[in-house]
Amino acid sequence: MYPKSVNNLIEAFKYFPGVGEKTAERMAFHVILNMDDIQRDFIANSIIQVKEKIKRCKCCNNISENDLCYICSDNLRNPDYLCIVEDPKSVISIEKQGIFNGYYHVLNGLISTLDGINPEDIRLDKLIERINQNNFKEIIIAVKPCLEGEMTALYINSVLSGMGLVISRLASGIPMGADMEYIDAITLEKAFDNRKKIS
């Protein structure tokens, strides 16, 4: 029913998460009917540029166009702190808030026995090498609090303990502004366990 090139474009857009037949069709028609050639070229070229230019930072495994990402090349950051995150998206999330000024280390995902991601797959060798070559005082594990996150944090802790470092984990509890009645049981239990004395 569609010309072949339109069919291909619809199939291509289905690679995106949450995009089914209808949305892919709408996107394809938008490209055909509403965009000009400059916009079409810009999208296609941007994808090709990202494919060709983006690699992993040799130091922290974050995404970067250079051998070292902009954070690892920044000498003004606090060299005492190393924050371990699960993926490059987490780096952006934390950086956007401007609350952390140390360095990052990006894992290759979280340990997940269900998905077949074993401890050796998250590549801690690079992390250990980096810790040995630097003088970090504290390692902050900032992976999300879920089964995989807990397993990963425990494993990292077991590997790094004995290296004379403070190892910490981001606090779990009730998010600011949340309604008590919508808090799930595990979060509430964590919030009770980690309660803080205020006077």
Residues that bind a second copy (CB under 8 A): 1-6, 8-9, 11-13, 15-17, 25-35, 37, 39-51, 53-54, 63-65, 69-70, 87-89, 92, 95-96
Alpha helices in 54-164 (DSSP H): 88-97, 124-133, 147-160
Residue type, 195: R
Determine the Cα–Cα distance for residues 16 and 71; give it in Å rounded to an integer.
29
Task: Return the number of the residue (102 or 187) whose C-beta is nearest a second copy.
Answer: 102
Task: Return the number of the residue (45 or 118) whose C-beta is nearest a second copy.
Answer: 45
Please choose, from the candidates 55, 80, 59, the residue with its C-alpha nearest in 3D space to the C-alpha of residue 127. Answer: 59
Determine the Cα–Cα distance for residues 123 and 103; give it in Å rounded to an integer.
18
In the complex, the smallest distance separating the C-beta of residue 71 from a second copy, rounded to whole angstroms, is 10
Task: Return the number of the residue (31 or 165) whose C-beta is nearest a second copy.
Answer: 31
Using an 8 Å Cβ cutoff, are 103 and 82 in contact? yes
Task: Return the number of the residue (13 or 81) whose C-beta is nearest a second copy.
Answer: 13
Task: Return the number of the residue (26 or 137) whose C-beta is nearest a second copy.
Answer: 26
In the complex, the smallest distance separating the C-beta of residue 24 from a second copy, rounded to whole angstroms, is 11
In the complex, the smallest distance separating the C-beta of residue 43 from a second copy, rounded to whole angstroms, is 4
Using an 8 Å Cβ cutoff, are 138 and 80 in contact? yes
In the complex, the smallest distance separating the C-beta of residue 128 from a second copy, rounded to whole angstroms, is 24
Buried b (16+ CB within 10 A) or exposed e, 29-55: eebeeeeeeeeeeeeeeeeeeeeeeee
In the complex, the smallest distance separating the C-beta of residue 180 from a second copy, rounded to whole angstroms, is 27
Using an 8 Å Cβ cutoff, are 75 and 69 in contact? no
